[in-house]
Amino acid sequence: MRDQKWLQNLFDEMWKNHFSDVPVLNNILIKFSRVSRTRLGSIRMTRDKKSSIILMNGIFKDPLIPVQVVEAVLAHEIVHYVHGFCSPLKRVHRHPHQGGVVRDEMIKRGLRHQYEVERRWTKNSWRGLVGRGMR
Q: Looking at residue 9, what is its pLDDT?
A: 98
Residue type, 9: N
Confidence bin at 49 (pLDDT 50/70/90): very high
Confidence bin at 133 (pLDDT 50/70/90): low
Phi then psi for 46, rounded to 5 degrees? Answer: -70, 155
Neighbouring C-beta atoms of residue 10, cutoff 10 Å: 18
- Biggest distance spanned by C-alpha atoms of the chain: 42
Q: Is residue 26 within 8 Å of residue 52, measured between CB atoms?
A: yes
Confidence bin at 127 (pLDDT 50/70/90): confident
Confidence bin at 43 (pLDDT 50/70/90): very high
- Coil vs helix vs strand at 60: helix
Q: Looking at residue 56, what is its pLDDT?
A: 98
Does residue 130 carry a pLDDT above 80? no
Q: Which domains does the chain have, with CATH numbers?
A: 4-131 (3.30.2010.10)
Helix (H) or strand (E) holding 11, with range, is helix 4-18
What digits encode the pLDDT tens for the residues 64-112?
Answer: 999 999 999 999 999 999 999 999 999 999 999 989 999 999 999 999 9
